[in-house]
Amino acid sequence: MTESRLSYSLWLTAFALSAAVMLYASFHKTVVIPDASEGSIISMGSIATSAAHALKLKSAETEGRMLNIPLRKGIKAENIIVDSNYGDKTLKIYIEGEEGEYYSANQVYGDVSAIVQAEYETTTGGVILIFSMDNIYEYRTTMTDGLMTVEIYRPHELYEMVALIDPVAEEGAAKEPALSVAELTERIYKTDKDSVNEGIKLYFANKRKLASREEKAEMLRESDADIYIALSCRSSDDAAEYGISVEYDPEFFIPDFGNTELSEIMLKEVALSSVNRTAGFYAAEDDDILYDIALPACRVNLGYSSNAKENELMGLEEYHGLLSKGLINGINEVYEKWQKE
């Protein structure tokens, strides 16, 4: 009888401890907050912002590069939108239901060395924290116990290969191309990006208003890109000319994988996916930006606007999907070869 009571007592104690652990975990669990699509805060539209106020920062030692952002009791993960924009090197965090006074009294602390400027704006529905950064970064955001933690990484700390995609409008064409390469990159970014190998990070040059070679070179440095791929359309005096072609700098050479290998892969995959003719790959003109880039680089020309039938084809949404698939297949194949070298 005594042994039975003792066993029952031990069982109750174990149950109570287990319940306590589960209860503690439920209140102290870490919740991952995904990065929303760029511009998602702005696209909410109904939020009218006030003038910006300086956000208090405090430098503190952390395990790795991270920021700790205090949250008022009652703020949940679903009240938070994280919007990172590498185009203007900002990190914006919208906190629904928060008030500006809270961040006038509470500091953001951690490794603040990468922050150029920190501000907050009060809105009709909450607060937006705005961090202007000194470089292009990737972010991983979690929250627990009334604290939001933002881990800050350089691209190559999370990805094995970084590619800069640069849509370039065709200049001097007699006929306007039916295909907008800028819209095609938006499709890749918003619709087809899940097909990109998880070891690859794609950045798009049109996320930043780049007018000069120097500005593009700066984005290549800041993104720490491994490859550069420009996208464009072509025109020809020969109205019968059509197909996919690639331009490159034949003078730039890297053993095992350089401009030639990159150009061959991209030409093959885009032509194959779009069921189009390969019009060849050839040296870019002497003053081309491709000669300024000291890493594997090429320009994929996605068709001829001077060919009436091909230009009509380039205006079809279904064809855009085929081109997007080909570009992604090419980049994925480049990555596979990249890993082997």
CA 157 to chain centre: 14
CB 98 within 8 A of CB 66: no
Range of 36-45, 132-141, 208-217, 230-239 with top mean pLDDT: 132-141
Q: Which two tokens stand for residue 234?
A: 């072509």
pLDDT band at 27 (very low <50, low <70, confident <90, very high): very low
Residue 153, number of CB atoms within 10 A of its CB: 15
Q: Is a pLDDT exceeding 80 seen at residue 71?
A: yes
Q: Is a pLDDT exceeding 50 seen at residue 26?
A: no
pLDDT at 341: 66
For the segment 259-268, the average pLDDT, to the nearest whole number, is 96
**Cα–Cα–Cα angle for 305, 308, 309, rounded to 5 degrees:** 110
How many residues appear in the chain? 341
Average pLDDT, the chain: 86
The angle that helices 259-274 and 317-340 make with each other, rounded to 10 degrees, is 150
Q: Which two tokens stand for residue 92?
A: 């914006």
Domains 31-153 and 157-340 share a fold: no
Which three-class secondary structure string do you get for the chain? CHHHHHHHHHHHHHHHHHHHHHHHHHHHCCEEECECCCCCCHHHCCCCCCCCEECCEEECCCCCCEEEEECCCCCCHHHEEEEEECCCCEEEEEEECCCHHHHHHCCEEECCCCEEEEEEEECCCEEEEEEEECCCCEEEEEEECCEEEEEEECHHHHCCEEEEEEECCCCCCCCCCCCCHHHHHHHHHHCCHHHCCCCEEEEEHHHCCCCCHHHHHHHHHHHCCCEEEEEEEECCCCCCCCCEEEEECCCCCCCCCCHHHHHHHHHHHHHHHHCCCEEEEEECCCCCHHHHCCCCEEEEEEEECCCHHHHHHHCCHHHHHHHHHHHHHHHHHHHHHHHHC
What tens digit of pLDDT does each residue of 49-59 get? Answer: 667 899 999 99
What tens digit of pLDDT does each residue of 186-205 get? Answer: 888 888 888 999 999 999 99
For the segment 16-20, the average pLDDT, to the nearest whole number, is 42
Q: Is a pLDDT exceeding 90 seen at residue 177?
A: no
Q: Is a pLDDT exceeding 90 seen at residue 60?
A: yes
Q: Is a pLDDT exceeding 50 seen at residue 43?
A: no
What tens digit of pLDDT does each residue of 3-15 get? Answer: 455 444 544 444 4
pLDDT at 169: 72
pLDDT at 207: 83
Under 8 Å CB-to-CB from 177, ≥6 apart: which residues? 170, 233, 303, 305, 311, 314
pLDDT at 176: 73
Can you say whether the dihedral through the CA atoms of 212, 236, 311, 230 is positive or negative? negative
What tens digit of pLDDT does each residue of 106-125 get? Answer: 999 999 999 999 999 998 88
Q: Is a pLDDT exceeding 50 seen at residue 255?
A: yes
Q: Which two tokens stand for residue 337?
A: 């070869």
Fold of 31-153: Immunoglobulin-like (2.60.40)
Domain ranges of the chain: 31-153, 157-340
For the segment 223-234, the average pLDDT, to the nearest whole number, is 95
**Mean pLDDT lowest among 32-41, 255-264, 313-322:** 32-41
Q: Is a pLDDT exceeding 50 seen at residue 19?
A: no
pLDDT band at 289 (very low <50, low <70, confident <90, very high): very high
Fold of 157-340: Aminopeptidase (3.40.630)
**Mean pLDDT lowest among 76-80, 121-125, 169-173:** 169-173
